Amino acid sequence: MKNKCNFLKEEKGNALLLFTLSFMFIIGVAGLVIDGGILYNTKSHLKKTANAAVLSGAQEILMSNNSVNEVVNKILMAHGEENSVKELKIRPNNENILRLELQRDVPLYFMKFFKINSIKVNVAASATLVTMSGGIGAVPLGIDENVPLEFMKEYKLKVDSGDSTYGNFGILALSGPGAKLYEQDLTYGYEGELKVGDIIETQTGNIEGKTRNAINARIAACPYTVDYIEHRDCSRVVLILVYKPHSIASNQLKSVEITGFAYFYIKEPMSSQDSSITGYFIKQSGSGSGDSSIINKGAYVIKLTE
Per-residue pLDDT of the chain in tens (306 residues, 90 and over written 9): 544 445 444 555 555 555 455 545 555 555 566 767 888 899 999 999 999 999 999 988 888 889 899 999 999 999 999 999 999 999 877 778 999 999 999 887 776 666 777 889 999 999 999 999 999 999 999 999 998 889 999 998 887 654 444 455 778 999 998 889 999 999 999 999 999 999 999 887 778 899 999 999 999 999 888 777 777 789 999 999 999 999 988 878 889 999 999 999 999 999 888 888 999 999 999 989 999 898 899 999 999 998
In this structure, are residues 251 and 164 in contact, taking their beta carbons and an 8 Å threshold?
A: no
SS3 letters across 69-85: HHHHHHHHHHCCCCCCE
DSSP tag of 304: E
Q: What is the pTM of this model?
A: 0.81
pLDDT at 118: 83
3 state SS of 270: coil
pLDDT at 114: 65
CA atoms of 181 and 174, how far apart (whole Å): 8
Number of H helices, E strands in the chain: 4, 14
Show the DSSP H helices in the chain as ranges: 2-58, 65-78, 179-188, 208-221
pLDDT at 20: 54
pLDDT at 147: 87
**In this structure, how many other beta carbons lie within 10 angstroms of the beta carbon of residue 71?**
20
